[in-house]
Amino acid sequence: MASLKQRFQSFLEEKNVITHFLAKLEKKTGVPKYYLATGSIAFVGLYLTFGYGASLLCNLIGFVYPAYASVKAIESSNKEDDTTWLTYWVVYGVFSVAEFFSDLFLFWFPFYYVGKCAFLIWCMAPVAWNGSQFLYHRVVRPLFLKHHVAVDRVASDLSGRAIDAASTVTREVLQTLALSRSLLTSPGAPQLPPDQSPPR
């Protein structure tokens, strides 16, 4: 427990968006940022447990900071942070698909959104035992390596069929338009009376 508290305090000494905001708040209120941070965490935890819109708050926590960090990673010349955040998004995507099917049953459990939020924070945490790295190397990567050839084959087959269908539809539409035009311009085509003009 003491090491967790030390890690938390060392995180509060780092320079990032959260600690910068807490430092500004500390300067305005006079309350140390350690208490501001722990109070904020307690408030968010209680809100996730009892508050209205806990799902939205949980999804914002799992999306907003990672999106910000991903843009920063794209703009930096370091490729290691790109890999880190790309791994997060792959795990986030797999989790979102799995949650879509299980959410109907799971959201009835007490503390569901607290657990989901803790899971997402674990996946984005800048620690050696990061959740997204762990899940990617233990679950996602082995499944990908096992099935990627079959998935590539199916995707290639589907894209070929989609292109064939699109070209067939385009060809039929063009033929129909050409036939309609030739029928309208032929000498035996019905003519409108002089007082009736086609609608514009």
DSSP the chain: -HHHHHHHHHHHHS-SHHHHHHHHHHHHH---HHHHHHHHHHHHHHHHHH-TTHHHHHHHHHHHHHHHHHHHHHHSS-SHHHHHHHHHHHHHHHHHHHHHHHHHHHTTSTTHHHHHHHHHHHHH--STT-HHHHHIIIIIHHHHHHHHHHHHHHHHHHHHHHHHHHHHHHHHHHHHHHHHHHHHHSTTSPPPPTT-----
CA nearest to 88, candidates 140, 118, 116, 123: 123
Q: Tell me whether residue 169 is in a domain.
A: yes
Least confident of 50-54, 58-62, 108-112, 171-175: 50-54
Q: Tell me whether residue 46 is in a domain.
A: no
Q: Report pTM.
A: 0.61
The count of structural domains within the chain is: 1
Range of the domain at 169: 128-180
**Residue 149: φ, ψ to 5°:** -65, -45
With a cut of 90, say whether residue 91 has pLDDT above it: yes
Amino acid in the structure at residue 71:
V
Contact at 8 Å (CB) between 126 and 72? no
Q: Tell me whether residue 139 is in a domain.
A: yes
Q: Sorting pLDDT into bands at 50, 70 and 90, what band is 87?
A: very high
With a cut of 90, say whether residue 50 has pLDDT above it: no
CA nearest to 89, candidates 123, 121, 134: 123
Q: What is the DSSP letter of 31?
A: -
Q: Tell me whether residue 145 is in a domain.
A: yes
Q: What's the whole-number average pLDDT of the chain? A: 81
Q: Tell me whether residue 136 is in a domain.
A: yes
The fraction of the chain above a pLDDT of 70, given in percent, is 86
Q: Which position has the higher pLDDT, 115 or 6?
A: 115
Q: Tell me whether residue 30 is in a domain.
A: no
Q: Tell me whether residue 88 is in a domain.
A: no
Q: Tell me whether residue 64 is in a domain.
A: no
CA nearest to 46, candidates 121, 120, 103, 113: 113
Calpha distance 121→57 (Å, rounded): 13
